[in-house]
Amino acid sequence: MVVTSDPNPSFLEFSLGGLPAPADLQRVSPAALAYLGDAVYELFIRSRCLLPPSRLRDYHQRVVAYVRAEAQADCLRSLLPHLLPPELEIVRQGRNAASAGPKRVDPELYQLATGLEALLGFLYLTDPLRLGQIFQLLEALVGDRCDSNQGR
């Protein structure tokens, strides 16, 4: 664990086993990056939906509204103009790595969601500062909507 002088360090500053070496990172598949990015994204959304205090079931419903493939695809579409060419390549690779998703989800939406997850997993491993910038952009998209989704 990294200890910082910041009294409120973000989860990005914590790493249990260290990061893979750059040579090892090249061996990580886009699907594996999406697997990691899914967890990173869900943690980001869970932390955003903690307020106002609620029952666990209500937290879960609010979070699910954001981690669904449809919502992730919308987020990626909004992020696309802000992404750098290497990031767009990671998104493309993630989209191409998407296997058949749930039957309820349009395959194109599932591919977009997987592209977003691959990008977040990649940035988590390689560039936490850029990941923070992406989360700031996502924050503008999410805003206070977690609060407004209480009734969902």
Active-site residues, by number, are 38
* Nearest alpha carbon to residue 97 among 34, 37, 38: 34
Question: Which residue type, as a one-letter code, is found at position 100?
Answer: A
Q: How far is CA 35 from the centre of its chain?
A: 10
Q: What's the burial of 22, exposed, middle or buried (CB within 10 Å: 0-12/13-18/19+)?
A: exposed
Tokens of 42: 């869900």
Question: Residue 118 contacts by C-beta under 8 Å, 6 or more apart in sequence?
Answer: 30, 31, 33, 34, 37, 90, 91, 93, 94, 95, 97
